[in-house]
Amino acid sequence: MKKDLRVPYAEKDEAKRLGARWDPARKVWYIENVADTTPFSRWMPSAGTDSLPDAGAKERAVPANQTRAGNGLITGSNYAPQARVCDCLPWDVCDKCRASALS
């Protein structure tokens, strides 16, 4: 049976040495057909969750190497475009989009 693991990048070599495998399509470490899962217990998802979070989930924590600007703008790989509220050009500010425009 295949079980997903939560392996931090810093511990990937140890997980690999113990027999964990990397699934590049799903971007997750896993073990398969392992009788004794004790060496992998620290990387197993907690009992309250049966699986890992969806790789395409929109809500993500901002990593320490990324910044959150004072206006709530997220930079880096967690950037998500905001919905437009009007049809004006992005660098123009009309009455409709004034509340959501960057200063």
CA distances (Å), 11 to each of 14, 43, 45, 55, 90, in order?
5, 10, 16, 20, 44
Distance of alpha carbon 78 from the chain centroid: 8
Tens digits of residue pLDDT in 9-51: 999 999 999 999 999 999 999 999 988 989 999 999 875 555 5
Tens digits of residue pLDDT in 83-95: 777 777 777 778 8
The domains of the chain are located at 2-43
CA distances (Å), 96 to each of 39, 86, 89, in order?
57, 6, 12
The percentage of the chain sitting over the pLDDT mark of 90, rounded to a whole number, equals: 34
